[in-house]
Amino acid sequence: MSNLETKPDEVICEFEKNIGDAEVLPPRAVPLGGIRAMEVRRTLPQKRRSLIGAWCFVDHYGPDLVPTSGGMHVPRHPHTGLATVSWLFSGKIEHLDSAGFAAVVRPGEVNLMVAGRGISHQEFSTADTSILHGAQLWFALPDATRHMPPTFTHYVPEPVRGEGTELRVFLGSLAGSTSPVATYTPPLLGAEAVLRPGSRLELELDPSFEYGILLDTGDLRLDGEPVPVDHLVYLPTGRSALVLEAGMNPVRLLLIGGEPLGEKIVMWWNFIGRTHEEILAYRAAWQGEIGAEPPPQRETEGGYPDGTPYPRFGPFPDNMPDPLPAPGLPNVQLRPRG
């Protein structure tokens, strides 16, 4: 998924009432573009909270009536320095990228695309999808791996069932379940939890992790306090256990987490770098490769000055929808955060 905001700069989203030491982060509505645009609810990044572990971006959408909204229609767009995680509750999405990977995203199956030094991809809801509901999340790659070649992984986690609960761990380890998916980051966690009405889920946590709870639906209590639907609850390091309780309605949530990244990042549009100048170079490369602006000068015909082969954002099949040009840069220096 692309950040389709025409002015993708920092936005202040105030915290709502905290739950103990947890911060409750409200969503903001962001249209994906078009007259009947499908809308997403973005809870990360925010002015006061840029990262949860290495997680840097959380979009939550649906249930969306595709015949009314047009569904997800995100033409080819670029990424650098991050990985995207697609997780669906209903519907299907077709993925195609410049590294040669084509896949269909289905409920309960994770698709992880590692952009590394550069990749481009497109995402469209399938023709037979009537209701689209899910989330896309990004995490930042550390400096040690952010220039790696792009790659893609598909994985179907086995459910871990308890008394009235079901857990699917798609990244990392939790409740005795471990995902084999490599993230090329410090330890990370990504999982879906479903609780029947009146059920309780107790989880052992890694105290070195930060955690985030995105409530998709239902009546959820954390430490005895209600959690608002569509909100992201941030839990700082130091927790060794988590108790989640469902009320009268069934609960579905995503639990993310990880060791603090420990690095400052510069995040703008679909790019993550470390400096303002890197972001300028990524934007110029993309605009030049798609013919939207004059191409930047390259050190050699074979690659860019940082050693990345040309084209940075890869070849793409012909006869596809036109790629998305990058927005104009703000008239300020982009600042590291994290």
**List of residues 6+ apart from 157 with CB closer than 8 A:** 108, 110, 168, 169, 170, 177, 179
Q: What is the pLDDT of residue 17?
A: 56
Give pLDDT tens digits for 68-119. Answer: 888 999 999 999 999 999 999 999 999 999 999 999 999 999 999 999 999 9
CA distances to 55, 99, 255 from 82, rounded to whole Å, are: 9, 15, 19
Q: What is the pLDDT of residue 14?
A: 42
Q: What is the pLDDT of residue 2?
A: 60
Tell me the C-alpha distance between 77 and 337, whole Å. 23
Phi, psi at 151, each rounded to 5°: -155, 170
Strands 165-171 and 160-162: antiparallel
Strands 16-19 and 22-25: antiparallel
Radius of gyration of the chain (CA): 19
Q: What is the pLDDT of residue 198?
A: 98
Cα end-to-end span (Å), the chain: 22
Which residue type does 13 have?
A: C
Tell me the C-alpha distance between 189 and 173, whole Å. 6
Residue ranges per structural domain of the chain: 22-258
3-state secondary structure of 100: coil
Q: What is the pLDDT of residue 48?
A: 85
Tell me the C-alpha distance between 327 and 305, whole Å. 23
Q: What is the pLDDT of residue 70?
A: 87
CA distances to 28, 196, 212, 288 from 281, rounded to whole Å, are: 29, 49, 32, 10
Tell me the C-alpha distance between 182 and 164, whole Å. 30
Low-confidence ranges of the chain (pLDDT < 70): 1-20, 33-37, 298-301
Q: What is the pLDDT of residue 209?
A: 99
Q: What is the pLDDT of residue 218?
A: 98
Q: What is the pLDDT of residue 47?
A: 87
Q: What CATH fold (topology level) applies to the domain 22-258?
A: Jelly Rolls (2.60.120)
| Best CA proximity match to 2, nearest among 107, 95, 132 | 95
Tokens 């012909």 belong to residue: 318
